[in-house]
A and B are shown apart, each in its own frame.
Chain A
Amino acid sequence: MLDRTEDLLKIENLSKNFSISAGLFAKPFQLRALQDISFTVKRGETLGIVGESGCGKSTLGRCILQLLAPDEGRVLWLGQDITKLPAEEMRKKRRDLQIIFQDPLASLNPRMTVGEIIADPLKTLMPEIDAKGRRERVLRTMEAVGLLPEMINRYPHEFSGGQAQRIGIARALISEPKLIVCDEPVSALDVSIQAQILNLLSDLKDEFGLTLIFISHNLSVVRHVSDRILVLYLGRIVELADGDDLYEDPKHPYTRALLTAVPIPDPKRARQRTIEGLVGEIPSPINQPSGCTFRTRCRFAEERCAQVRPPLETLANGRRVACIRWQELDLNGGA
């Protein structure tokens, strides 16, 4: 049995800035992509990360895997900080930490066969396995993700988007990782294929005891797969809660606004509900509002929201919310 109470991954005060050139002689802008992010991921759970484009969700995924070096903070993998590991040490860790990308075809080398693509991580991550052993593993993994053995010598362009995503999943699975970051894994797929891939991920999770971090802008999909959900806005956590709690009783005005905007595939309910569209658009991460960064679009914003940055408070049952007004607001039900 999995020990679901163990913290597999712990993120502490993670921040990441990007320098944006403002011209040859000008001082570059600082784009604050992630600020002071802390959370834990328990073994065996699926943590969903949602937010609008530019909120930092993909950057967060990449910082967790050390594909981007965070500027501040720590990433503890089974208690060990992996942000300062030498490259060779980190490479060994990558056996356990894998990623699946959004655009399945773009993330596969067109000049390699399916078998070579799937086997590739083994060469660097598990060099002790010989060619015969690699082939066996490749075939076993292909079967697990629903690819036929005869596809092993084909090239990526011969596959549809859904099949290509299965190849990407097989490549992530081959080293028997403990954690997979799924960065918008179904966004580019047709509806019927999207459902197949979601079911596949859930089967694989059970079969291999995986822990998943599922990044998506599609709240319906995140709701479907996640145990807990983290909501990001302009690089900060605004809410973190169990999936059901978050959807049935959002505490942050931004979460609620997102939920009421999700299209519902049910005409009668869709007609009944009123969409409290957010005012305006997400501000530029280069020039962020003072105090609560969401206040410029919030229906409940008051003067003091501009002055104090709301702390990320911990509520009963471990929920977390960053809004100074959460106790007085009645946001009763999102969707």
Chain B
Amino acid sequence: MANVLVVDNLDVTFALHQSEVKAVSDLDFTLAEGETLAVVGESGSGKSQAFLSIMGLLARNGKASGRAMLGDVNLIGMAPDKLDNYRGKDIAMIFQDPMTSLNPTLRVKTQLAEVLVRHQGFTAEKAHRAVIEMLERVGIPEPVKRANAYPHELSGGMRQRVMIAMALLCKPRVLIADEPTTALDVTVQAQMLDLFKNLTNDFGTALVLITHDLGVVAGVADRMMVMYGGRCIEKGPTDTLFYDPRHPYTLGLLHSTPHVAKRAKRLDPIQGLPPSLEHLPRGCAFHPRCAFRFERCFEERPPLLPVEDVREKACWYQGELKYEAVA
């Protein structure tokens, strides 16, 4: 499969009152046509900021450097008016809370049709037909009626579907979904994830799923990238990372996740708190919480290196990851 998005050396920095804070450091990844990549991490891991920077949506004090090649154009550092030729057309993003992303004063059909008129030069009538079709495609019952509604008249699940419909109208090559199901009930979440699976199959859209929920990742992602303290610390195929994690943080996340089918007596959480990006620990950012750390981890930051051709990880520890081995 051809790569639709290639990101190299991505850094994101925010200027604070008297200092700067680096939210994303040296991020590299590729995204192939029709592929689903899960980006996993806790708050402050940089997972959202990395993708906001690719979309040119950083807060005003934020600055990105590096490259994000969508085909042969670099989106990083592009002027906003030029970016608008790609945003919504070739690359689209949806967010956790659909209510903040939809205009409350416009009918659903008005805001959706605008996308097609702007990017594809559709006539109003043609755009309207395409909007109804897409609303139906994402599983909205009575699409004609719902197209006339205002966002507040729809339920949370319906609004999220409207967002997805809007993002998919131009059949983008890349869809970035930032915690798209976190605010939804499990039954609606399951419908949404199903919808994502069908859409990547049918349109060949590459999906980036930003989430903290490993259950969601297991169901839909082909590959995953785990982030901590603004860096990727392990990435590889989903099955590989789930069944044979090699980074202690990936292992820790898996052990922290309760499993509906198995009732463990206790969870094995990671000790301590995620670091503040302003005061990242020296050496490996994870070392204060790591059960496998040794002297080197305090001083030197481990680089992200390939392991056995299937994955990359950033960790000095080479032994087996067994909690018993340490205790």
Contacts and interface: CB of A to CB of B under 8 A. Distances in A.
Q: A and B, one complex?
A: yes
Interface string A243-264: 1100100000000011111111
A199 B185 CA distance: 24
B256 interface: yes
Interface in A257-308: 257-271, 275, 277-278, 280-282
Nearest to B253: A191
A143 interface: no
Given A263-B218, A270-B218, A198 B190 contact: no
Interface string B147-191: 000000001111000000000000000000000000001111111
B257 interface: yes
A190 B261 contact: no
A124 interface: no
B8 to A, nearest CB: 28
Contacts of B43: 161, 190
Contacts of A259: 260
Interface stretch (B56-64, B121-129, B263-271): B263-271
B117 interface: no
Contacts of B189: 261, 263
Contact of B273 (A193, A198, A277): A193
Interface stretch (A13-21, A218-226, A314-322): A218-226
Interface string A41-60: 00000000000110000000
A210 B270 CA distance: 25
A196 B215 contact: no
A224 B259 CA distance: 8
A259 B255 CA distance: 21
Interface residues of A, number: 48
B216 interface: yes
Nearest to B276: A160
A288 B276 CA distance: 48
Nearest to A268: B239
A199 B256 CA distance: 10
A185 to B, nearest CB: 13
Contacts of A196: 269, 271
Contact of A265 (B42, B215, B268): B215
B267 to A, nearest CB: 4
Contacts of B299: none
Contact of B215 (A220, A223, A224): A220
Nearest to A248: B261
Given A191-B212, A267-B239, A243 B263 contact: yes
Contact of B260 (A160, A202, A219): A219
A31 B165 CA distance: 32
Nearest to B40: A191
Contacts of B270: 192, 195
B14 interface: no
B54 interface: no
Contacts, number: 138
Nearest to A226: B263
B263 A281 contact: no
B219 interface: yes
Interface in B203-259: 212-219, 238-239, 242-243, 252-259
A163 interface: yes
A220 B273 contact: no
B303 interface: no
A261 B155 CA distance: 19
B186 A265 contact: no
Interface in B248-305: 252-261, 263-264, 266-271, 273-274
Nearest to A263: B215
Interface string B33-65: 000000000110000000000000000000000
A224 B157 contact: no
A53 B189 CA distance: 13
B185 A221 contact: no
Nearest to B257: A265
A262 B260 contact: yes
Contacts of B185: 52-53, 217, 282
B141 interface: yes
A263 B187 CA distance: 10
A199 B269 contact: yes
B20 interface: no
A264 B187 contact: no
Nearest to A187: B182
Contacts of A190: 42-43, 212, 274
B267 A198 contact: yes
A194 interface: yes
A145 B212 CA distance: 25
A281 B215 contact: no
Given A224-B267, A266-B242, A277 B258 contact: no
Interface of A: 52-53, 160-163, 190-196, 198-199, 202, 217-221, 223-224, 243-244, 247, 257-271, 275, 277-278, 280-282, 335
A-B residue pairs, 3 tightest by C-beta? A263-B215, A195-B269, A195-B256
11 contacts: A52-B187, A162-B273, A194-B269, A265-B215, A267-B239, A267-B242, A275-B190, A277-B187, A281-B157, A281-B188, A282-B185
Given A192-B270, A244-B263, A247-B261, 7 more contacts: A52-B186, A199-B266, A199-B269, A262-B186, A267-B238, A267-B239, A278-B187
Interface of B: 42-43, 141, 155-158, 185-191, 193-194, 212-219, 238-239, 242-243, 252-261, 263-264, 266-271, 273-274
